[in-house]
Amino acid sequence: VTIQDAKGIATVVEHSTLIFDISVPVTPNLPVWPGDPPVGIRPVMRIAAGADCNVSELACSSHAGTHIDAPWHFIEAGARVDEIPLNLLIGPCLVVDLFATKGQIDAEQLAAAGIAAGTRRLLLRTRNSQLWADRPGEFVRDFAGLSLDAAQWLLDRDIQLVGIDYHSIEPFDADGDPVHRVLLGANVVVIENLDLSGVEPGSYQLVCLPLRLAGLDGAPARAVLIADA
Ligand SMILES: [Zn+2]
């Protein structure tokens, strides 16, 4: 049985299984990091134009849309995106609500967010998720990101994967990108540009599979959460 809800985000594949798509649609209107190339989609062949089939050319940054940052993004000796172990990208995952946070997310807010000991995969649902609906096509600079003490808090608790619902895990104006350097330097998997507006906080199974782009600094990914039955 397959049913989509009004927003098209939940698909019932069995009676007790809900799958939430938490990736953003890749379109030419997708905002990108200032200076990055926009998403380009060019029709190569179109049935409507008399061709045998439909084929498109896709051109984009390795950080377009929902994507993984590989350690090599900021650490010259770090692992490439195709070297990230799949067992980090698939498994139990906690979504926490930080929607009310106005500025940066600091260690104090993480400590108060109800993150159970033993959590290894963590997705942060912040006010950012609302930007996908409220300001589509726009790159908003005052999004919520982690402060450096929050990144250290994650390492201290042995979090191995962290995801956030906008373009960067750290604030836009973070000087020297310390949060990226700390997390990627510790081989924490970073997922950016999630849309968590359609999921409630709680426990899920995460499946987030970046394209197997050999030797690259990051890769677009399809990310889904499977509700615990
Ligand atoms: Zn990135």
For residues 224 and 221, give the distance between their C-alpha atoms in angstroms, rounded to a whole number: 10
pLDDT at residue number 220: 98
Q: Please write the tens of the pLDDT for every residue from 191-218.
A: 999 999 999 999 999 999 999 999 999 9
pLDDT at residue number 11: 64
CA of 50 to the centre of ligand 1 (A): 39
The structure tokens 């995460």 sit at 206
Structure tokens at 95: 């979504």
> Under a CB-based contact definition with an 8 Å cutoff, are residues 42 and 56 in contact?
yes
pLDDT class of 17 with cuts at 50, 70, 90: confident
For ligand 1, a single-atom ion, the residues with CB < 5 A are: 63, 69, 192
> Under a CB-based contact definition with an 8 Å cutoff, are residues 39 and 64 in contact?
yes
What stretches of the chain show up as alpha helix (H) in DSSP? 86-89, 107-111, 131-134, 148-156, 178-185
pLDDT at residue number 229: 62
Does residue 14 surpass a pLDDT of 60? Answer: no
Percent with pLDDT over 90 in the chain: 90
Mean pLDDT, residues 48-74:
98
CA atoms within 13 A on the CB side of 16: 2
Q: Which residues contact 166 (CB under 8 A, 6 or more apart)?
A: 126, 128, 131, 140, 143, 144, 145, 192, 193
pLDDT at residue number 16: 72
pLDDT at residue number 4: 64
Q: Where are any strands of DSSP class E within the chain?
A: 10-14, 17-21, 40-45, 55-59, 67-69, 90-98, 121-126, 161-164, 189-192, 202-210, 218-227
CA of 19 to the centre of ligand 1 (A): 24
Q: Which amino acid is at 179?
A: V
CA of 161 to the centre of ligand 1 (A): 14
Q: Which residues contact 38 (CB under 8 A, 6 or more apart)?
A: 28, 30, 32, 60
Considering all CA atoms of the chain, what is the largest pairwise distance in Å, rounded to the nearest integer? 60
163 forms beta bridges with 123, 191
Q: Catalytic site residues?
A: 73
Please state, in angstroms and as integers, the Cα–Cα distance from residue 63 to each residue in 13, 33, 60, 135, 210, following that order: 30, 8, 8, 20, 11
Mean pLDDT, residues 83-96:
98
Mean pLDDT, residues 155-168:
98
Does residue 1 surpass a pLDDT of 60? Answer: no
CA of 134 to the centre of ligand 1 (A): 22
Percent with pLDDT over 70 in the chain: 93
Q: Please write the tens of the pLDDT for every residue from 93-134.
A: 999 999 988 889 999 999 999 999 999 999 999 999 999 999
pLDDT at residue number 124: 98
